[in-house]
Structure 1
Amino acid sequence: LSNLHSISCQLQGQFHLNGMHKAGDVVLGGLFEIHFFSVFPDLSFTSEPQEPTCHSFDVLGFRQAQTMVFAIDEINRNPDLLPRVTLGYSLYDNCVKLGIGFRAALSLASGREEQFILEDNCVGTPPVLGIVGDSSSTRSIAISTVLGLYRVPMVSYFATCSCLSDRQKFPSFFRTIPSDAFQVRAMIQILRHFGWTWTGLLVSDDDYGLHAAGSFQSHLSQSGGGCLAYLEVLPWGNDRAELRRIVDVMRKSTARVVIVFAHESHMINLMEEVVRQNVTDLQWMASEAWIAATVLQTPKLMPYIGGTLGIAIRRGEIPGFRDFLLQIRPDLQHNNSYGNSMVNLFWEYTFQCRFAPPHAGWVEAGGSLCTGQEDPELVVNEFLDISNLRPEYNVYKAVYALAYALDDMLKCEPGRGPFTGNSCGTLQRVEPWQLVYYMEKVNFTTPFGDHVSFDENGDAAPMYDIMNWLWLPDGRIQIQNVGQVKESVKGEELTLDQDKIFWNTESKEPPRSVCSETCPPGTRMARKKGQPVCCFDCIPCSEGEISEKNDSLECTSCPEDFWSGPQRDHCVHKKTEFLSYQEPLGICLTATSLLGTFICAVVLGIFMYYHSTPLVRANNSELSFQLLLSLKLCFLCSLLFIGRPRLWTCQLRHAAFGISFVLCVSCILVKTMVVLAVFKASRPGGGDSLKMFGAAQQRGTVVVLTSIQAAICTAWIVSASPAPHKNTQYHKDKIVYECVVGSTVGFAVLLGYIGLLAILSFMLAFLARNLPDNFNEAKLITFSLLIFCAVWIAFVPAYVNSPGKYADAVEVFAILASSFGLLLALFGPKCYVILLRPERNTKKAVMGRGIQ
């Protein structure tokens, strides 16, 4: 302790890390993958553990670090951005290892001074104001969990795990790459575009892969875009048995599309097993983590992985970047972790690989691995190739986001600031949490024309390029841009140039990848028990139901007047059925009705012509004329039962039928009564009986009996009128037009009244059957009524059991049969005598022998 107002703090230890550093008024930190592998020494527990060593120099990771250096130099030269402020940087190598990356982050946050004095007023800037990195989701989660406690802004350029969007857990985390949630939705859009509903999913065994798997399954189920044939987790180590099992699952599955959320190292091990098992008929879909992996783009792997489609980070352009890379020189004065050791490693790598002896093994060169076949010019060309800047472009945007946030903070006017007491952050006393506030409001446009801002979760505006691995005829591999997917007001907007896509199939067409083929219209999907939702059977729709679209979940019922077509894919009007004038049955009944009417007219004409003959006069010509007219009405009323039922026909048909037949039977009843009266009058002392039943009484009786039926019909129509009805109970595919009686009681009373009169007439005629021959008309009446009653007794069960139009046909048949029975039985013998046996049509013959 130097005094009561200051505290001396001593650094307890140093992490020996590869890094690049440059002083400035404000220092920005960076974490990059400069080496692929790291080796941790064995722990002895008896001595201080040695530092891990990093191997296999990553040229592209080094270029990403140089992008940050370039961006900071460019900002320092820009008079409009952060004037009078110089940015510095402190960049570290994480060696693709969580332990090393975490050590580097702590070094950035706490600084590397051996000793410093903590003043009581805490004046001064922190070691770094913000960090660009990390490239891994797992490392970003671990580092942000700690740095978030102190609100140190961290802007990742490659960590995509959707879990990092949780603002409660990671309050100071930002990123210039879209999250996996959008990447997953973008992939689902591609799956939908090509109709791939049955896919396999491979993920790496880390936060990136496992969160991607969960997000993919969740979005897949929500969107209804398909389902997974299998989900496999790729092991971190080169576990041959596990890889063999995974590839065997892929080979046996019916899914032809495989989606992979994994890193290059996983894919290298996986593809070795794919080649070993010769699995060549798969369509690969790559996540942004390996879509641009040049290590996989070899002629040996193209038969297996050619035609790969994938999501790639948005490509950008950085003017002047290549010229900057050409100026990089080794730092001979500071070949240590405090100088530009990364630059020195790069030059050592290219130099020693040039002179490595050619052989099939590996030698170590400058902490990296080289083969004897390395061409340093190719290494340099790869380093200088800026035609496909993707992670580098995100690094560039991340640095500028921090710079713009700092610039906005320093432009704050005292007394109008957003912090306590309207204060502002100052360069002399800036806090990282103050920069977080301005990071949330960053809004600028890059020279490439892309808009950069962060949403409430710290995520950048989502946009991806869609890449395709083109296998050229000369054996070379080219990654081409075939489309784009970006966020829009309507959701994910997919743009694809399908003609440019290379398909590694014999047909050169997109493969089919479905568990079950599409169910065509007219069928519905039925889930297969115990299998995913994409596996189903196609069940034809039932009668009366249709499905108009492919893969319908349910069949819909047709409207009441419609029925399903032959293919069950559309509804058609139901066939209508009624006793029609156009069908054979209707034609026959109509012809029969008209024939009966014609015969009645002929008989009436005969009786009128021979009205003065003894036979006509002896059989009560007036009642005979009335009977013939009523029979003609009976024949004609049957026509009301033919044709489409309408309200007036339904009301008239039964009324006309009932009244006509009552009129007919009433005439027969009166005729029978007249026969009995005449017979009684012929006996001694019976003359008064005939006077009591004269012509006026006969006509009155007919009128009264008929009026009773008319009253019954009127009451029936008024209380419960018969009406037309569309009956769909007889046939589901037909509409049977029929007349409902309205009141069964009314119909029964109508028939009962006719039956009552008929039975009464029959009984009277039966009693008079044995009268002398000159009064033998009673026999004809008895026989005619016997036919009449037999017909209508048979009608009742036949009518009840006949559906639809056949019920009408039965009733028409009963009307015609009974009418013909009466006509032929009553008038047939008389016409025979009148026309063919005129010698018997004399008074003597009628009075003497009667009709034989």
Structure 2
Amino acid sequence: MWPFFHTSLRLLMLLYSCFSSTTSSSCRLQGRFDLNGMHKAGDVVLGGLFEIHFFSAFPDQSFTSEPQQPTCHGFDVIGFRQAQTMAFAIEEINRNTNLLHNVTLGYRLYDNCNKLGVGFRGALTLASGQEEQIILDETCAGSPPVLGIVGDSSSTRSIAISAVLGLYRVPMVSYFSTCSCLSNRQKFPSFFRTIPSDAFQVRAMIQILNHFGWTWAGLLVSGDDYGLHAARSFQSDLSLSGEGCLAYLEVLPWGNDPAEMRRIVDVMKKSTARVVIVFANEGHMINLMKEVVRQNVTGLQWMASEAWTAAPVLQTPQLMPYLGGTLGIAIRRGEIPGLRKFLLQIHPNLHNHSNSYGNNMVRFWEHTFQCRFPPPPAGWVESGGVICTGEEDLESEGTEFLDLSNLRAEYNVYKAVYALAYALDDMLQCTPGRGPFSGNSCTTLQTMEPWQLVYYLETVNFTTSFGDQVSFDENGDALPIYDIMNWLWLPDGRTKVQNVGEVKRSASKGEELTLFEDKIFWNFQSKKPPRSVCSESCPPGTRMMRMKGKPECCFDCIPCSEGKINSMECTSCPEDFWSSPQRDHCVPKKTEFLSYHEPLGICLTATSLLGTLICAAVLGIFIYYRKTPIVRANNSELSFQLLLSLKLCFLCSLLFIGRPRLWTCQMRHAAFGISFVLCVSCILVKTMVVLAVFKASKPGGGASLKWFGAVQQRGTVLLLTCIQAAICVVWIVSASPLPHKNTQYHSDKIVYECVVGSTVGFAVLLGYIGLLAILSFLLAFLARNLPDNFNEAKLITFSMLIFCAVWVAFVPAYISSPGKHADAVEVFAILASSFGLLVALFGPKCYIILLRPERNTKKAIMGRGVVKS
């Protein structure tokens, strides 16, 4: 592949002119690129692209003469120091006996003049060389002109250069190109960088926004690849996180258009966002700040991208009232031991082969000492100029060139050179037969090709002397780390850019943000972080409703409905909870059941216990007066059973009071049904006995009394009660009543109730009781006119009439009563029917026993024994 690349680039990109002869075919350069550069020979040569000049000028092309080369202007001391850092790193590696043993690195460094066209010329020259002539019948085998390139400093230039070099897998390690688009491995398969991409820079800024609760921020970006890709990353990451939004998205103009600047600053003034994020270079910021100062726009918290976060040109007394307190993302600052000593060795007289600095060195010297090497232009000395002697003291000048306190881009250059060196070292240490290439082969110093170095760059992993780990992920990006900078405005008017934290990603812990808030200078009267929200948080009990046509963090506050609390949306409380009166949190719902502690429950409980005590008192009276005629005449055994069953009826009502539980739900209806069947059975048997005795008093009727002896009476009561017990067992086994939390009656309450399980079972239970009661009523009604001074049948008739009336009224009242009121209705029905039976059956007897003893005689009871014909 490399011979083809070597030849095709010469033919297609460098405009070779080919011709044929009888002896050979060859190609020659049609023209050469006149590039500023520094060179040093070596066994392996690394290329570099740096910004040594700020500007370049292309002469007008008339197509009537040979095209002229562009000229570069405006010496960039920082870019020159970056180039010198690469030279220093290579010198250091060559002295290192543990790295690339017996291999000498060389370099070819070119000036891109901050222009895409010049940078592209330099990259093609590095990749293909500038030999005057190539013989085509040669094999073109051997090492390429350069094995890898360090650069470029601009995302736009790196995109263009990598798109071409990536076709041939020539590795390129950038130290300053941050566009996230360069992480696309399909478009840029051989691109690497030691600076984090803008995607991570954007995530770092979003972490800072979230840390201070800034949900409403302005975004300004430049109209190049750097700014536009940053804007897309910002919008994408914010929409994924859902934790903030941008006030506006504007593109800074390339030029100094006053109208455009006024429009942008006017938008900033009208916006409620107090935080402004700017992805642009310092040139754009200078033009922007002129308009900011003119309109006196203060009270903003600026957030700087790495492109201008440490720009000295912006740190002036005129701008600090506006830019003071700026928080910026800066690439990692490092330390490079020995670099200062190396830089002090630079001298314009060093023109030997190993240090061919050429015009760059002379221009650096002239720029630093504001002098001119002879011969100066005519009239230059007379106008006050100074001629360089070459003996000026670089250290005593105090130039920015020697200020190594803020090595950031230089540190990335240093890491990029070492990454290439470590990858080359790994490649040369390959064991034959265990190599990564076809047939498990390795490469040699004479046969190595750039694409082979790409393989080893992907797996390189080392630690710098400063303690930072360097490795590349699957996209060619290094482990990202940023310093967080703060512009401190000192009382004496000086400016200091200080480190107040860092954000980094590690393989084990992921992304981490560290901020030292006590060190941050806030350029506000409160000396505290500003609030930057589109809409203030909604008060308790309200929810956010997004404003039409505005970002999602702009909203109105709408009251929440009952049962919901405020959040980004009103959220319903869990099933057993309800919203507080302020609608700000959920509280347990109130529970409702027929309780022993509420007035209704207390009254019903007292009534139940009173009925039980009355039954006990009546039973005591009947036991005490058991030998009196009125007790003996009324079948004392059945009367005792009836009183005991009535006592059970009163007590079973207590099962309907209190929190429903499984056993109470199962027992309440079973106890109620069995107790009342026992009671009604006793009444039914008593009525049947009365009828049998009356019939036996007639001639020939004595035989009927044998069916109503004591045993038969007890057996009949037991049989009728067992039928009800069987109904209850079948009901509980097949569809058992269960406790239930009902929220249908009241949304803010939980009504505890017992569901009957089977409506059929409940209906059969009530129906059986009703059947016995009706039967008792009919028999008693037939016997109501029996000739007796104390007619038991009349009392039974009246008691059954009360009983049936109560339970007929119970059914519709029970169905229409919700929750605890249904239980209260049922308890009331139980107590009312029980008191009706107790009073109707035993009231007159107790009256005679206690108050009219003269009527408690056999003669008085049998006083009317003649039957009317």
Shorter-chain TM-score tier: 0.7 to 0.9
Match runs of 1:683-698 below 5 Å: 686-689=698-701, 692-693=704-705, 696-697=708-709
Aligned CA distance change for structure 1 residues 699 and 206 (closer, same or farther; 3 Å): same
Answer yes or no: is 1:280 the counterpart of 2:295: no
For 1:468, the aligned partner's letter is N
Aligned CA distance change for structure 1 residues 213 and 4 (closer, same or farther; 3 Å): farther
Worse overlay, 431-440 or 318-327: 431-440
CA–CA distance in structure 1, aligned partners of residues 639 and 427 of structure 2: 122
Aligned CA distance change for structure 1 residues 240 and 377 (closer, same or farther; 3 Å): farther
CA–CA distance in structure 1, aligned partners of residues 696 and 446 of structure 2: 148
1:349 maps to 367
1:171 Cα offset (Å): 3.5
1:102 maps to 120
1:593 Cα offset (Å): 2.3
Give TM-score, length-normalised by structure 1. 0.84
**Does the 8 Å CA contact 1:675/1:775 hold for their aligned counterparts?**
no
1:148 maps to 166
1:188 Cα offset (Å): 3.0
CA-to-aligned-CA distance 1:564-601 (integer Å, 9 cap, x gap): 77777877766554444444333322322232233233
Aligned CA distance change for structure 1 residues 703 and 30 (closer, same or farther; 3 Å): same
Worse overlay, 406-415 or 123-132: 406-415
Report the secondary structure of 2:844's partner residue.
Answer: helix
Answer yes or no: is 1:638 the counterpart of 2:657: no
Aligned CA distance change for structure 1 residues 631 and 693 (closer, same or farther; 3 Å): farther
**Does the 8 Å CA contact 1:6/1:120 hold for their aligned counterparts?**
no
For 1:234, the aligned partner's letter is L
Worse overlay, 180-189 or 835-844: 835-844
Answer yes or no: is 1:296 the counterpart of 2:314: yes
Report the secondary structure of 1:774's partner residue.
Answer: coil
2:740 maps to 726
Report the secondary structure of 2:140's partner residue.
Answer: coil
Answer yes or no: is 1:66 the counterpart of 2:84: yes
CA-to-aligned-CA distance 1:231-280 (integer Å, 9 cap, x gap): 22222122333333333333333333332222111211222222233332
Aligned CA distance change for structure 1 residues 347 and 441 (closer, same or farther; 3 Å): same
Aligned CA distance change for structure 1 residues 259 and 718 (closer, same or farther; 3 Å): same
User: Which of the residues 390, 396, 415 maps onto 1:397?
Assistant: 415
Report the secondary structure of 1:182's partner residue.
Answer: helix
Match runs of 1:220-619 below 5 Å: 220-330=238-348, 340-352=358-370, 381-406=399-424, 431-440=449-458, 442-488=460-506, 489-515=508-534, 531-535=550-554, 555=571, 558=574, 577-611=592-626, 615-616=630-631
Worse overlay, 796-805 or 412-421: 412-421
CA–CA distance in structure 1, aligned partners of residues 596 and 658 of structure 2: 6
For 1:558, the aligned partner's letter is P
Report the secondary structure of 2:492's partner residue.
Answer: coil
**Does the 8 Å CA contact 1:482/1:500 hold for their aligned counterparts?**
yes
Report the secondary structure of 1:503's partner residue.
Answer: coil
**Does the 8 Å CA contact 1:185/1:492 hold for their aligned counterparts?**
no
Worse overlay, 460-469 or 631-640: 631-640
For 1:233, the aligned partner's letter is V
Give TM-score, length-normalised by structure 2. 0.82
Worse overlay, 455-464 or 155-164: 455-464
1:382 Cα offset (Å): 1.5
CA-to-aligned-CA distance 1:269-322 (integer Å, 9 cap, x gap): 222222233332322222221111111111221222222222212222223322
1:801 maps to 816
For 2:85, the aligned partner's letter is T
CA–CA distance in structure 2, aligned partners of residues 366 and 54 of structure 1: 25
Answer yes or no: is 1:713 the counterpart of 2:725: yes
CA–CA distance in structure 2, aligned partners of residues 708 and 847 of structure 1: 32
Answer yes or no: is 1:817 the counterpart of 2:832: yes
CA–CA distance in structure 2, aligned partners of residues 229 and 538 of structure 1: 20
CA–CA distance in structure 1, aligned partners of residues 438 and 786 of structure 2: 133
Report the secondary structure of 1:290's partner residue.
Answer: coil
CA-to-aligned-CA distance 1:699-744 (integer Å, 9 cap, x gap): 7356425522421322331354454423324455555554444443
1:135 Cα offset (Å): 0.7
Aligned CA distance change for structure 1 residues 674 and 690 (closer, same or farther; 3 Å): farther
For 1:712, the aligned partner's letter is Q
CA–CA distance in structure 2, aligned partners of residues 680 and 434 of structure 1: 125
Worse overlay, 31-40 or 129-138: 31-40
CA–CA distance in structure 2, aligned partners of residues 171 and 150 of structure 1: 9
Answer yes or no: is 1:158 the counterpart of 2:170: no
Report the secondary structure of 1:511's partner residue.
Answer: coil
CA–CA distance in structure 2, aligned partners of residues 459 and 763 of structure 1: 100
Q: Where do 5+ consecutive residues of structure 1 fail to align?
A: 356-364, 368-375
**Does the 8 Å CA contact 1:544/1:558 hold for their aligned counterparts?**
no
1:657 maps to 672
1:340 Cα offset (Å): 1.7
Aligned CA distance change for structure 1 residues 179 and 819 (closer, same or farther; 3 Å): closer
CA–CA distance in structure 1, aligned partners of residues 737 and 325 of structure 2: 72
Aligned CA distance change for structure 1 residues 299 and 832 (closer, same or farther; 3 Å): same
For 1:725, the aligned partner's letter is P
1:822 Cα offset (Å): 2.5
1:478 Cα offset (Å): 0.8
**Does the 8 Å CA contact 2:742/2:753 hold for their aligned counterparts?**
no
Aligned CA distance change for structure 1 residues 689 and 590 (closer, same or farther; 3 Å): farther
Aligned CA distance change for structure 1 residues 844 and 515 (closer, same or farther; 3 Å): same
Answer yes or no: is 1:758 the counterpart of 2:776: no
For 2:364, the aligned partner's letter is F
1:826 maps to 841
What is the aligned length? 824
User: Which of the residues 684, 688, 700 maps onto 2:712?
Assistant: 700
CA–CA distance in structure 2, aligned partners of residues 116 and 320 of structure 1: 42
**Does the 8 Å CA contact 1:655/1:710 hold for their aligned counterparts?**
no
1:143 Cα offset (Å): 1.8
Aligned CA distance change for structure 1 residues 214 and 702 (closer, same or farther; 3 Å): same
For 2:720, the aligned partner's letter is I
CA-to-aligned-CA distance 1:457-479 (integer Å, 9 cap, x gap): 43333222222211111111111
Percentage of matched positions with identical amino acids: 78
CA–CA distance in structure 2, aligned partners of residues 89 and 727 of structure 1: 83
Report the secondary structure of 1:330's partner residue.
Answer: coil
1:533 Cα offset (Å): 4.4
Report the secondary structure of 2:399's partner residue.
Answer: helix
CA–CA distance in structure 2, aligned partners of residues 743 and 149 of structure 1: 80
CA–CA distance in structure 2, aligned partners of residues 649 and 308 of structure 1: 71
For 1:704, the aligned partner's letter is T
CA–CA distance in structure 1, aligned partners of residues 605 and 260 of structure 2: 87
